[in-house]
């Protein structure tokens, strides 16, 4: 019985330490973007961004491992990794759409929705080891969220300023 179960276990071709690093970097990328959303008291903050990024990394790595397994089992297999990217994009878009709403004639939550989508992309990049893509995305996200966010606030557009910290009364 155990021999039958053991045949169904597929060990990853990616060493566990590499998986740990990829997942950790993905979670850190999501965390850094999520800090801005948390600081501004937006509906999706630190934990949400970290989980979206980590989940995307997991799906990307699963797709990578499935492609390797398919080639090993059937040398003629030609797996299509774009399907997983499409699924991650759709899932993140679904979550992002949930953060967008209309209030008093204004649309709110678009930046949060976009940051969730970006966290998914950074996570997927980390999941397959494309750290440069994740890193450059993260750097530009920080510039957009903090520098451009400050500019739009100074110009008086719909971007809201960071919330005041809670009082300690």
Report the pLDDT value the prediction gives residue 83, as an integer from 0 to 100: 85
Structural domain contains residue 166: no
pTM: 0.78
Residue found under tokens 């451009």 = 148
Q: Has residue 138 got a pLDDT over 70?
A: yes
Q: Has residue 130 got a pLDDT over 70?
A: yes
The answer to whether the beta carbons of residues 112 and 46 sit under 8 Å apart is no
Where does the pLDDT of residue 77 fall: very low under 50, low under 70, confident under 90, or very high at 90 and above? low
Structural domain contains residue 164: no
Pairwise CA distance, residues 105 & 44, whole Å: 21
Structural domain contains residue 81: yes
Residue 152, judged by CB atoms within 10 A of its CB (0-12, 13-18, 19+), counts as middle
Structural domain contains residue 7: no
The answer to whether the beta carbons of residues 31 and 47 sit under 8 Å apart is no
Span of 14-28, 128-142, 149-163 with lowest mean pLDDT? 149-163
> In the predicted model, what is the mean pLDDT of the chain?
85
Q: Has residue 166 got a pLDDT over 70?
A: no
Over residues 87-110, mean pLDDT: 85
Structural domain contains residue 99: yes
43 contact partners, CB below 8 Å, separation of at least 6: 99, 109, 112
Percent of the chain scored above 90 by pLDDT?
Answer: 40
| Among 27, 29, 19, CA closest to 134 | 29
Structural domain contains residue 5: no
Q: How many domains does the chain have?
A: 1
Structural domain contains residue 55: yes
Pairwise CA distance, residues 53 & 26, whole Å: 6
Structural domain contains residue 2: no
97 contact partners, CB below 8 Å, separation of at least 6: 113
Helix (H) / strand (E) element for 106: namely: strand 106-108
Residue 137 lies in domain? 15-155
């Amino acid at each position: 019985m155990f021999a039958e179960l053991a045949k169904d276990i597929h060990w990853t071709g990616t060493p566990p330490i590499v998986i740990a690093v990829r997942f950790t970097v993905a979670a850190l990328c999501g965390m850094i973007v999520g800090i801005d959303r948390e600081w501004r008291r937006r509906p999706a903050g630190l934990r949400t961004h970290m989980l979206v990024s980590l989940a995307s990394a997991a799906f990307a790595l699963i797709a990578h491992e499935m492609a390797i397994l398919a080639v090993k089992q059937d040398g003629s297999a030609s797996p299509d990794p774009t399907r997983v990217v499409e699924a991650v994009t759709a899932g993140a878009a679904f979550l992002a759409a949930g953060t967008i709403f209309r209030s008093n004639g204004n649309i709110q939550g678009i930046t949060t929705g976009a940051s969730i989508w970006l966290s998914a992309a950074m996570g997927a990049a980390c999941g397959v080891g494309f750290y440069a893509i994740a890193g450059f995305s993260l750097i530009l996200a920080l510039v957009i969220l903090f520098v451009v966010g400050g500019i739009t606030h100074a110009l008086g557009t719909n971007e809201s300023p960071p919330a005041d910290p809670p009082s300690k009364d």
